[in-house]
Amino acid sequence: ANYVAEMDEMYIERSFGPNSPINTPHEKLVVQNLAIENYFAPERELELVNVIARTVVRAEEEILFMAFSFTNEEIGEAMLGRADAGVSLRGLFESTGSDSESSYYPIMAAMALPNVSVLRDANPYIMHHKVIIVDRETVIFGSFNFSASANRSNDENIIVVHDASFATPFVAEFERLWRAAGVHAAEASRR
């Protein structure tokens, strides 16, 4: 129902971006015993980033992320705050754009904390993932890049699922890409 309402809003009512109404029928729901949250931007604008940041700051042990684009200050600072508190932070950035002035890659890569490690994705194509995994039991994913554009102008969505079993394949994908990126980084440093 949520995605039907969103598609109708865009393709029948021709209401895109910041002009979109807040009309998601079920932002919080339970499906097959899974607690799920579903939000759309830019209808919720800062609220959507707050949902992500609030979820991140609940991390007690570990934050894993895979990011096509990561420039959002509130999300970045929430992660860095947890890292300062001793939470393990590991992230994969899409190579393209990761060195930009607004990217969180250089900031996180320069951190002198043993619990923080970030790598660039190693595949020759584009890693278009937008995933945050908190304590291997909560997953945030969707079309939402961790950027201001995603929050303020693009039509984007996030889904937050609170379930360790649901998180397992996301963790496996993260670890698969992490290993590949680590091998690639080690080979590049030997050249």
pLDDT by residue (tens digit) across 143-179?
988 886 666 667 788 999 999 999 999 999 999 999 9
Query: Which CATH code is given to the segment(s) 2-14+23-190?
Result: 3.30.870.10
Extents of the domains making up the chain:
2-14+23-190
Decide if 130 contacts 70 (C-beta within 8 A).
no
pLDDT, position 61: 99
C-alpha dihedral (173, 174, 180, 181), degrees to nearest 10: 150
Mean pLDDT value across the chain? 87
SS (H, E, C) 94-146: CCCCCCCCCCCHHHHHCCCCCCEEEEECCCCCCCCCEEEEECCCEEEEECCCE
pLDDT, position 147: 80
> Quick check: pTM over 0.85?
yes
| Token pair of 24 as six digits | 């998601």
pLDDT, position 58: 98
Decide if 46 contacts 151 (C-beta within 8 A).
yes
Low-confidence residues of the chain: pLDDT under 50: none
pLDDT, position 95: 92
Q: Tell me how many degrees the CA angle 83-37-103 measures, rounded to the nearest 5.
A: 40
